Structure 1
């Protein structure tokens, strides 16, 4: 298993390096990261639970590390995290079902061609 604290440290070190090479890219990413918080519609913990669900669907270890740490800091319970992850698992399965219909359509159309 990964050392998640080290993952965050290593990632931050490299991102600092990247920011010296392309500062506007990091500024843009930071602007996006903070944009949702400004609306006030969702609290920080809910945003982190959503971020964790998205992180597993995009398979981003860096996102998992950062948003897990933030969710823990904000007091997310094991049950809340599990429920958020369950929603992501369900949507991945649902997306696979929907895209299965695309395969059936493609096969039918290619057979007709």
Structure 2
């Protein structure tokens, strides 16, 4: 499945889940907004952290969403690669496999 299709599928599944539990979805959305807008780190840096966690926890949907956000911030292939290298150092072989997926996602979505 192409990464753009994965993003669409993820959003469809999240919309369905959000309808099933609107109060939880609203609370999670508020948390997400607060975390992304508050604090001392810039949004791009926070998305790099989220990408590293997505790779380490092996979440394809999370990889796609955070790569998409990083593409919008203007993240470079070199920056993405640096984050992926750190993810591999922390997560070993399984993270290396998901780092390869994340780089593929970046290359597809940044075109």
Q: TM-score, normalised by structure 2?
A: 0.75
| 2:17 equivalent to 1:18 | yes
Question: Shift of the alpha carbon at 1:30?
Answer: 1.2
Q: CA RMSD in A?
A: 1.4
Number of equivalences:
92
Aligned equivalent of 1:52 = 51
Alpha-carbon contact 2:51-2:67 (below 8 Å) kept: yes
> What stretches of structure 2 of length at least 5 have no aligned partner?
93-111
Structure 2: distance between partners of 1:65 and 1:38 = 21
Structure 2: distance between partners of 1:38 and 1:11 = 23
Aligned equivalent of 2:105 = none
Structure 1: distance between partners of 2:46 and 2:64 = 15
Question: Shift of the alpha carbon at 1:7?
Answer: 0.9
Q: TM-score, normalised by structure 1?
A: 0.74
SS of residue paired to 1:48: helix
Higher RCO, 1 or 2 (CA under 8 Å, sep at least 6)?
Answer: 2
Alpha-carbon contact 2:37-2:43 (below 8 Å) kept: no
SS of residue paired to 1:76: coil
| 2:19 equivalent to 1:4 | no
Aligned equivalent of 1:62 = 61
Distance of aligned partners of 1:33 and 1:20 in 2 relative to their CA distance in 1, 3 Å threshold: same
Aligned equivalent of 1:28 = 27
| 2:78 equivalent to 1:74 | no
Q: Larger C-alpha radius of gyration, 1 or 2?
A: 1
